Amino acid sequence: MLDWLADTWDAVELWVAQLWFPVQFALVMLVLLPICLGVAWLIDRVVDRLSALLAPRYRAEPTLWGRDADEAGQAHQDSAS
């Protein structure tokens, strides 16, 4: 069913294997480097989105007295009046 794909792959592989090594290297870098960069970018975006969705919704570090800044400011204003 996919014999044409296997035949094409074998032909391209044979063609690349017969090239001079610096040409092989340049060809692989021109093709493989953009693909790897794109996949890395995609993985980074997916991980960022998933971590944003799964991250806890609270503050990891409390403020100096263990209150939020708004509560601390409000308590200070109440005691001053």
Task: Note the pLDDT of residue 60.
Answer: 62
**Token pair 């998933």 is at which residue?**
50
Query: pTM for this structure?
Result: 0.51
Taking each helix axis from N to C end, the angle separating 3-17 and 21-54, rounded to the nearest 10 degrees, works out to 120
Cα–Cα distance, 61 to 48 (Å, whole number): 21
pLDDT string in tens for the chain (81-residue length): 789 999 999 999 999 999 999 999 999 999 999 999 999 999 999 999 998 888 777 666 666 666 655 555 565 565 655
What CA–CA distances, in Å, run from 23 to 9, 13, 18, 32? 19, 14, 10, 14
Cα separation of the two ends of the chain: 84
* Domains of the chain by residue range: 21-80
**Token pair 């991250």 is at which residue?**
55
